[in-house]
Amino acid sequence: MKHITTLLSLAVALSAYCGKYTAYVNPSIGTGAVENSLSGNCYPGATVPFGMVQLSPDTQAAPDWDKASGYDYNDTHTCGFSHTRLSGTGACDLIDLLLMPSVDSSVWSALDHSKEKASPGYYSLELDGGILAELTATPRTGIHRYTYPKGCRQRLYIDLDHSAPKGSWDRRIIQSQLRVTGPQTIEGYRVMTGWAKLRRVYFHIELSRPMASCSLLSADRDYGRAAVANGNNLKAWVDFDPDGSDCVVVKVGLSTTSLANARANMAHEAPGWDFDGFVRRADAVWDGMLGRIEVKGDSTEMQKFYTALYHTMIQPNVISDINGEYTSTDYSTQKMPHGQQYYTTFSLWDTFRAAHPLYTIIAPEMDAAFVNSMLAHFDSYGYLPIWSLWGQDNYCMIGNHAIPVVADAVLKGIGGIDPERALRACVASATTVHPGSPFDVWEEYGYMPEDLQSQSVSITLEQSFDDWCVAQLASRLESDSVARHFAIRSRSFANLYDAGSGFFRGRTSDGRWVEPFDPLRYGANGGNPYTEGNAWQYLWYVPHDVPALIELLGGRRKFVDRLDAFFSLTESSGAKNDNASGFIGQYVHGNEPSHHVAYLYNYAGKPQKTQDLVHKICTELYNNSSSGYAGNDDCGEMSSWFVFSSMGFYPVNPVSGEYSIGSPLFDRVAIRLASGRTFEVRVHRKGCHGHRIKAMRLNGKAHLRYVLRHSDIMAGGVLDVYM
Amino acid sequence: MKHITTLLSLAVALSAYCGKYTAYVNPSIGTGAVENSLSGNCYPGATVPFGMVQLSPDTQAAPDWDKASGYDYNDTHTCGFSHTRLSGTGACDLIDLLLMPSVDSSVWSALDHSKEKASPGYYSLELDGGILAELTATPRTGIHRYTYPKGCRQRLYIDLDHSAPKGSWDRRIIQSQLRVTGPQTIEGYRVMTGWAKLRRVYFHIELSRPMASCSLLSADRDYGRAAVANGNNLKAWVDFDPDGSDCVVVKVGLSTTSLANARANMAHEAPGWDFDGFVRRADAVWDGMLGRIEVKGDSTEMQKFYTALYHTMIQPNVISDINGEYTSTDYSTQKMPHGQQYYTTFSLWDTFRAAHPLYTIIAPEMDAAFVNSMLAHFDSYGYLPIWSLWGQDNYCMIGNHAIPVVADAVLKGIGGIDPERALRACVASATTVHPGSPFDVWEEYGYMPEDLQSQSVSITLEQSFDDWCVAQLASRLESDSVARHFAIRSRSFANLYDAGSGFFRGRTSDGRWVEPFDPLRYGANGGNPYTEGNAWQYLWYVPHDVPALIELLGGRRKFVDRLDAFFSLTESSGAKNDNASGFIGQYVHGNEPSHHVAYLYNYAGKPQKTQDLVHKICTELYNNSSSGYAGNDDCGEMSSWFVFSSMGFYPVNPVSGEYSIGSPLFDRVAIRLASGRTFEVRVHRKGCHGHRIKAMRLNGKAHLRYVLRHSDIMAGGVLDVYM
């Protein structure tokens, strides 16, 4: 029933503003689990591609964990609209500056999905008392339009205290300010620490109509009509004269560096009061980005596709101002080189797998911007980010997966990146001891001993891959000794393979296997050799040398047997990790370590098994409801898997320049490249539901390997796939 | 015995570097209590006038409260030398970046006062193992010279974790970095919150010799030879090759805004490696500042005088960089107008009384700089600072005593201040509700009701004075309605006078007196109508209208009787406040509320009683030992009292443009004014120890009132005083 509601409300929304591609986006996908299924921790609110502002309703007083985007489709009430958030993460942060219109003193309203509309860059909700709240955004400005019912009070609540839970991640507001600077302007800032260690958020609010009054208050003080309040739990009530107009437009410009820049950002991006114009512009920007891939096929699948593609471009997020200034990792204000912007929200353990590879195809200019932002992060921090949140590393997850992103961009020849600086950054990130990366230990033992570095199996496997990436980059840049050193390190994974059990297993520093061993037992984020998974799920992570993995496992036949077992073994042992969901046997589509595994059959001569599984995952583990994802979307990574796989290929090794071919979901895919060329996948089906490939032709020539090269795509052309 | 030690070590120190006036400064005065006496919470280390750097030994792992400067003369060990601190405060903060040389792995050394030397801008201590550590400073650079004994290891410990106690004032290090940027350079930063809400301290360290090695570590991780470590409890061990030289010079440039500015500050202020030259320069700068007042008399009194004068110029502290950039109250980087610098450390509840009035006479250019910094603070914060610590308001104490400072500067015609901006700032600070200042309540009741605002008697008295200052400034600028409004408010003190008991007493919002009432009972900093004092001590705070106070108390004779009782009544009731010390009856010279009271006899025709008391306080409650002050020096306020009183006059009302005459301690005082003129006080004594004034002549004319006008001083001239 809820599915239907979602689609209905979507339909209404899209009648107002929709481009050719945005028409297919359903922002409520992934926003809430229904009936024992899963969600994606996405949100339905207004944002533009890679913007600083994510303006969306919050449905919790202090959102966290399974409500990490601030919104859960299953919640029944909202406390208003805050301006920043994460999409698809497992932990919550940001959630800055909540605004809520009201006709009385209530600051919560029922959330009725039948009164909710959402499309890219637009969100609206009819609130209690009949107030229509509409939201849109530019990159650094959130824009609200509130239409109050006639004859009612017209109030606006501003909550600068609202955030993810205080105390969690040592979260607290250190200082904040609310200041009435004119009859139609309010400014202020909030400095807080949390999952991101210390963020400064400056805001400049402009109102389309003068305030009749503004009262500042906090939990412990009523500031009355004071023009300014400084404190750490500030709120305000603004009243408008109801005789003036029914409608108020509220624009909120943000900056990480200063009030002056918050003002300048708004002045540049959002002059005037044409709310509908801002909505049209946001829709047009989205439509342009989404149109970089055109798919044709079943309309439900097209909704899934364009919503997934939309989710891949909600982040990374710009946090530099229009003049290029940003808050550096060291909390100083720095400026990007002319014409460049600084981006954050790099959930790299997730996004190095498919999201960044996707950007290298459809948005290479953005990939360059992301890589140059990572290199700026490296300049001040000393090594590349693990997980960059509002410009700060929160060290979430393991490995150093900025390395594959940076290396891949250079290896693929993406313009505007200094290759030598990239190599310096990668080498520093693979040699400088830092949390989760004791490289002195790594160099000494050739693996991470569990007694010296927990999550040792997962780190050993993933760091081996990162090391391979450094080697590839060094080799390309003719740094031969560096390349040799990291090539050796990249084979470290083999040191943890236990031929007896047939698994990668934890070892201690004395060389002994960690006992007891249970390949079904899950680890979480420390205290166990496996990260958010078990030995079965971490059996497959050697993307840079699948042949070596096949050999370790006893050859192709045994490899296929193990894969078959993996995809069918439903036993479990003890509690599963919270991130383990979307099961096919031990395969867990809800979390990233499994994401490449369906494609591994290709490497053992069993492409039809890959095709079967990929088709099954695309059609069964993604849907167009609020519980459309099999797990957290993880900043677009779950979505990127779908975008790739539904087009028919996937980057098993994201830095190899090759994609492994699966099973295209659409009749036709056209990737419009920055060069002006187009790469097409044309599917020729015999039966209605055929998903197994019988033959392929690339640019008219028979294509025998289940591999597509990056260079094939970028050159433009046609892959004909016969099902 | 300890007195003698101090003087001996001083004598040795001064043989090396001393100017005409610096020769009289004993930096160990006020650094530690001896035998039941009191201290001043001062420190003996190296600093220059109004500098950012205060480089001094720390004698506690986490200094606090009675060791608020980081140093206690009674402590027996030191853990090294940190670069920032407060002088004379009751609470501790700053204490950034500890360096400690060592010949082994020990990071504590015995502190032997016989091996300690100190003079303005210079400090040295022979540490365990025979290392000679010498310190000097420029405004933004700390400079160390370590001479290691031959044949020993040459090590340097860098502790970026060292601070005032974690947890106290919610203190914690949010993020920090240590980074080896070259063989002779280390950089980094520390962002922490504590008494000052969030401070950024960037540092650039240059070593005169290359490091043989540098190991980074923290409580939970050994970073080995990593070039960079990011964390919140970082330390480093640097080793030098002992075969190179015996000596290492270490320069540490600081900035509140960025590493680039920390580098630029050092490059500008401290190029080269001439440690002795830096010491000479610091001495010369101090000598120039101290020489603005020349006193002649007893050499012990001269030591007390010049040390006090020295202590008045240790703060306020510049926190802008040489290019004028600074961290604003809103944590953004701002820039002062060309040629101006930004100052902080405004302990205004203390320093509005005598320190700032002193600056208006001997350092008007600095007073203008302080006022313009307060006005910049006002611009971003919305009202003037209460207690500005590293640019942040910590709201320590009561009242809004930037108002008298700002108003006084304008009223005295100090150049470079925009009077209209000053008035705007004063009005905003006296009308905008903020912590401790519920002006809506103030306007409604005409006093602070204790049930609505604690410390109500003290706030009512002090805010009445602040309001009078606003009125004076408004009147000068012909804002007549503002002047009238604040003139009315300035009489609010009378609303708390209880004729029955003869005291200012707390009232509740229903108009009733707070019961029970005990005029001897102390309040602290909340929960009681009196702030760090009792009703006796707060009986006298009506500096702007002493005649009205005399009338309230029943006329001159009764006023004198009450003063006599105040200076003789030794009873007490319950615990005294920690800040109550230096008693003469109920008079407490150790804390500021009493500071003007000895001069009040002048207003009732009993100048000799003033003279007796002032002389007694100057000679008995100040001495030249480590326990030379009767209480905390409070950022130079206790010292300023001595400077004024020993010259023969004191600003009872610091904004009246008048000084009340006491009893000059010196035979001759010459104030060298910025105009080139000199104002002299010449004392003509009959007996050796006479301190009572028989007659006075100002510029040769009989001077009958015990009042000296600011304009008399600034015009230059001679006050002849006949004892």
The string of pLDDT tens digits covering residues B678-718 is 999 999 987 666 899 999 999 999 999 999 999 999 999 99
Tell me B354's DSSP state: T
Provide the pLDDT for residue A4: 38
At a CB cut-off of 8 Å and minimum separation 6, what does A515 contact? none
Structural domain containing residue A94: 13-290
Asked whether this complex has an ipTM greater than 0.85, the answer is yes
Between CA A578 and CA A576 the distance in angstroms is 6
What phi and psi values does residue A489 have, to the nearest 5 degrees?
-60, -35
A33 vs B715, higher pLDDT = B715
**Contact state of B189 with A229 under an 8 Å Cβ cutoff:** no
For chain B, the first-to-last Cα distance in angstroms comes to 35
Say if residue A60's pLDDT is above 50: yes
Q: Which two tokens stand for residue B524?
A: 């602290």
Say if residue A396's pLDDT is above 90: yes
Between CA A144 and CA A128 the distance in angstroms is 17
* Per-residue pLDDT band at A2 (split at 50, 70, 90): very low
The reply to whether B230 touches chain A by the CB within 8 Å rule is yes
**Contact state of B393 with A230 under an 8 Å Cβ cutoff:** yes
Residue at B71 is within a domain: yes
- Is the Cβ–Cβ distance between B551 and B562 less than 8 Å? no
In one-letter notation, the amino acid at residue B570 is T
- Is the Cβ–Cβ distance between A236 and A176 less than 8 Å? no
Looking at CA atoms only, how far is residue B175 from chain A in angstroms?
7
- H/E run at residue A478: none
What phi and psi values does residue B463 have, to the nearest 5 degrees?
-70, -30
Provide the pLDDT for residue A39: 81
The reply to whether B666 touches chain A by the CB within 8 Å rule is no
Residue at B256 is within a domain: yes
The reply to whether B106 touches chain A by the CB within 8 Å rule is no
Provide the pLDDT for residue A11: 39
If you search the block for the tokens 């530019």, which residue do you land on? A138
Coil, helix or strand at residue A667: coil
Provide the pLDDT for residue B34: 76
Spell out where B2-119 has E strands: 46-47, 54-58, 77-78, 80-82, 98-102, 109-110, 116-119
The reply to whether A256 touches chain B by the CB within 8 Å rule is no
Spell out where B21-128 has E strands: 46-47, 54-58, 77-78, 80-82, 98-102, 109-110, 116-119, 122-126
- Is the Cβ–Cβ distance between B304 and B621 less than 8 Å? no
Provide the pLDDT for residue A304: 98
Looking at CA atoms only, how far is residue B258 from chain A in angstroms?
5
**Contact state of A332 with B200 under an 8 Å Cβ cutoff:** yes
**Contact state of B228 with A432 under an 8 Å Cβ cutoff:** yes
**Contact state of A197 with B174 under an 8 Å Cβ cutoff:** yes
Cross-chain CB nearest to A198 (options B175, B177, B333) = B175
% chain A with pLDDT above 90? 94
- The count of residues in chain B is 723
Pairing of strands A109-110, A77-78: antiparallel
For chain A, the first-to-last Cα distance in angstroms comes to 35
The reply to whether A330 touches chain B by the CB within 8 Å rule is yes
Q: Which two tokens stand for residue A517?
A: 């061993």
Read out DSSP for A521-588? PPP-SSSSSSSSS-TTGGGS--TT-HHHHHHHTTSHHHHHHHHHHHTT-----SPPPTT--SEETTEE
Between CA A304 and CA A626 the distance in angstroms is 11
Between CA A394 and CA A412 the distance in angstroms is 29
- Is the Cβ–Cβ distance between B314 and B54 less than 8 Å? yes
The reply to whether B331 touches chain A by the CB within 8 Å rule is yes
Distances, alpha carbon B207 to alpha carbons A408, B56, B143, B211, B215, in Å: 40, 19, 10, 8, 16
Distances, alpha carbon B369 to alpha carbons A205, B258, B324, B342, B365, in Å: 33, 23, 12, 7, 6
- pLDDT by residue (tens digit) across B324-365? 999 999 999 999 999 999 999 999 999 999 999 999 999 999
Cross-chain CB nearest to A179 (options B331, B382, B393) = B382
Q: Which two tokens stand for residue A406?
A: 């940076």
The dihedral region occupied by B88, where left means phi > 0, alpha psi between -120 and 50, and beta the remainder, is left
Query: CA-based Rg of chain A, rounded to a whole angstrom?
Result: 25
Between CA A33 and CA A35 the distance in angstroms is 7
Cross-chain CB nearest to B440 (options A197, A224, A381) = A224
- pLDDT by residue (tens digit) across B50-81? 999 999 999 999 999 999 999 999 999 999 99
Residue at A214 is within a domain: yes
Count of domains for chain B = 1
Residue at B610 is within a domain: no
Provide the pLDDT for residue A593: 97
Cross-chain CB nearest to A433 (options B226, B260, B433) = B226
- pLDDT by residue (tens digit) across A289-330? 999 999 999 999 999 999 999 999 999 999 999 999 999 999
Provide the pLDDT for residue A64: 94
Residue at A476 is within a domain: no
Nearest to B550 by CA among B538, B561, B565: B561
**Contact state of A177 with B330 under an 8 Å Cβ cutoff:** yes
Provide the pLDDT for residue B33: 86
Coil, helix or strand at residue A369: helix
Taking CB atoms and an 8 Å cutoff, what residues of chain A touch B191? 198, 331
Provide the pLDDT for residue A17: 58
Say if residue B566's pLDDT is above 60: yes
Angle ∠(A183,A186,A187) on CA atoms, nearest 5: 145
Provide the pLDDT for residue B690: 84
Provide the pLDDT for residue B113: 97
Cα A108 from chain centroid? Answer: 29
% chain B with pLDDT above 90? 94
Say if residue A33's pLDDT is above 60: yes
Between CA A213 and CA A485 the distance in angstroms is 68
Query: CA-based Rg of chain B, rounded to a whole angstrom?
Result: 25
Considering only alpha carbons, which residue of chain A is nearest residue B262? Answer: A332
- Is the Cβ–Cβ distance between B456 and B447 less than 8 Å? yes
Provide the pLDDT for residue B39: 80
Provide the pLDDT for residue A224: 87
What phi and psi values does residue A453 have, to the nearest 5 degrees?
-150, 110
Q: Which two tokens stand for residue B283?
A: 């001495």
**Contact state of A230 with B381 under an 8 Å Cβ cutoff:** yes
List, in sequence order, every residue forming a beta bridge with B335; answer none if it has no partner: B325
The average pLDDT across A14-24 equals: 77
Nearest to A532 by CA among A543, A521, A544, A523: A523
CATH number, domain containing residue A74: 2.70.98.10
At a CB cut-off of 8 Å and minimum separation 6, what does B579 contact? B90, B532, B588, B590, B591, B631, B632
Provide the pLDDT for residue A551: 98
The average pLDDT across B162-182 equals: 97
Q: At what angle do helices B419-429 and B456-476 cross, to 10 degrees?
A: 150
- pLDDT by residue (tens digit) across A614-639? 999 999 999 999 999 999 999 999 99
Q: Which two tokens stand for residue B246?
A: 């015996």
Q: Which two tokens stand for residue A515?
A: 């006992």
Coil, helix or strand at residue B352: coil
Provide the pLDDT for residue B6: 41
Spell out where A610-677 has E strands: 649-650, 658-661, 668-672
- H/E run at residue B172: strand B172-182
* Per-residue pLDDT band at B17 (split at 50, 70, 90): low
List, in sequence order, every residue forming a beta bridge with A247; answer none if it has no partner: A147
At a CB cut-off of 8 Å and minimum separation 6, what does A126 contact? A112, A115, A116, A132, A133
- pLDDT by residue (tens digit) across B357-367? 999 999 999 99
Residue at A146 is within a domain: yes
Say if residue B219's pLDDT is above 90: no
* Per-residue pLDDT band at A15 (split at 50, 70, 90): very low
Between CA A390 and CA A320 the distance in angstroms is 10
The reply to whether A193 touches chain B by the CB within 8 Å rule is yes
Looking at CA atoms only, how far is residue A205 from chain B in angstroms?
16
Provide the pLDDT for residue B9: 40
Residue at B239 is within a domain: yes
**Contact state of B227 with A392 under an 8 Å Cβ cutoff:** no
The average pLDDT across A423-444 equals: 97
% chain B with pLDDT above 70? 97
The average pLDDT across B403-412 equals: 98
Provide the pLDDT for residue A393: 98
**Contact state of B202 with A330 under an 8 Å Cβ cutoff:** yes
Taking CB atoms and an 8 Å cutoff, what residues of chain A touch B222? 433
Considering only alpha carbons, which residue of chain B is nearest residue A392? Answer: B175
The dihedral region occupied by B153, where left means phi > 0, alpha psi between -120 and 50, and beta the remainder, is beta
Cβ pairs A/B, distance under 8 A: 113
* Interface test with chain B among A193, A230, A321, A381, by most B beta carbons within 10 Å: A230
- pLDDT by residue (tens digit) across A351-363? 999 999 999 999 9
Provide the pLDDT for residue A244: 85
- pLDDT by residue (tens digit) across B503-540? 999 999 999 999 999 999 999 999 999 999 999 999 99
- Is the Cβ–Cβ distance between B635 and B351 less than 8 Å? yes
Read out DSSP for A105-156? S---EE--GGGEEEETTEEEEEPGGG-EEEEEE-SSEEEEEEEPPTTS-EEE
Pairing of strands A717-722, B247-255: unpaired
Provide the pLDDT for residue A1: 33
The average pLDDT across B17-36 equals: 89
Say if residue A332's pLDDT is above 80: yes
Considering only alpha carbons, which residue of chain B is nearest residue A232? Answer: B197
* Interface test with chain A among B201, B216, B230, by most A beta carbons within 10 Å: B230
**Contact state of B432 with A227 under an 8 Å Cβ cutoff:** yes
The reply to whether B383 touches chain A by the CB within 8 Å rule is yes
The reply to whether A179 touches chain B by the CB within 8 Å rule is yes
